[in-house]
A = this chain, B = another copy of it.
Amino acid sequence: MPAPRAVLLLSGGLDSYTAGALMRERGFELHALSVLYGQRHAREIHAARAVAADLGVARHIELEVDLRRFGGSSLTSDMPVPVDRAIVPDEIPSTYVPARNTVMLSLALAWAETLGSSDLVIGVNALDYSGYPDCRPEFVAAFEALARLATKAGVEGRPLTVHAPLQHWSKAQIIREGQRLGLDYGLTHSCYSPPAEGRPCGRCDSCLLRAAGFAEAGLPDPLMNR
């Protein structure tokens, strides 16, 4: 029997890399989708390509959807990215991109249906995170319910599953799992606002969460030793 196919949303960060590796370990054939939504940290696509190659995905699609047309986020407009912020789970920062995960899961759903895949994978987690509403377990569950109604597969009795294997893990747990899986986090990119020379800024939410995760895991971040 051929391996079941899963569509993985792949950003180039460490979460989606780890989520993909876990699904590969569970026997899925990975099809990776990276959405170029106009994010200011567009260079993460280079990381996504490196990660896709390392995961040995069957195919990697890079799809452009220009969310800058709508604005409303410091990641898709000229608003400054906040730095050195105390991350409070109940506060939604300006780096929140309206409906981003809804848009990306919808696109993954479209591809899954044409692939005959019943499995979507997203690397969200709602423990060490920036408070984005579309990273929470109730969001993931609602998308899964929608997906079962939205598709021919769902109507025909092949319901979709949205896998969010990191959902309840801390960043340190994710990183330790990555070590177990032999992942090279030096391939990844997390910074929201990389300076011109390409080094992580070390001060945006994403850099702060990453640094705290490596510290708590008691491991060095390979990106910082370069």
Residue numbers of A with Cβ under 8 A of B are 61, 63-67, 69-72, 92, 96-103, 105-107, 109-111, 113-114, 133-134, 136, 138-139, 142-143, 145-147, 149-152, 154-155
Contact = CB atoms under 8 A, between A and B. Distances in A.
A113 B96 CA distance: 11
A148 to B, nearest CB: 8
B72 A99 contact: no
A110 B106 contact: no
Given A99-B113, A109-B98, A63 B63 contact: no
A98 B64 contact: no
Nearest to A109: B99
B139 A150 contact: yes
A70 to B, nearest CB: 5
A130 to B, nearest CB: 12
Contact of A149 (B63, B100, B133): B133
Contact of A150 (B63, B67, B133): B133
Contacts of A138: 149
A138 B101 CA distance: 21
Given A99-B150, A102-B150, A145-B145, A110 B61 contact: no
A76 to B, nearest CB: 9
Contacts of A100: 110
A129 to B, nearest CB: 14
A136 B114 contact: no
A133 B145 CA distance: 13
Nearest to A146: B142
A14 B113 CA distance: 28
A123 to B, nearest CB: 17
A114 B146 contact: no
A154 B133 contact: yes
Nearest to A147: B102
A217 B158 CA distance: 39
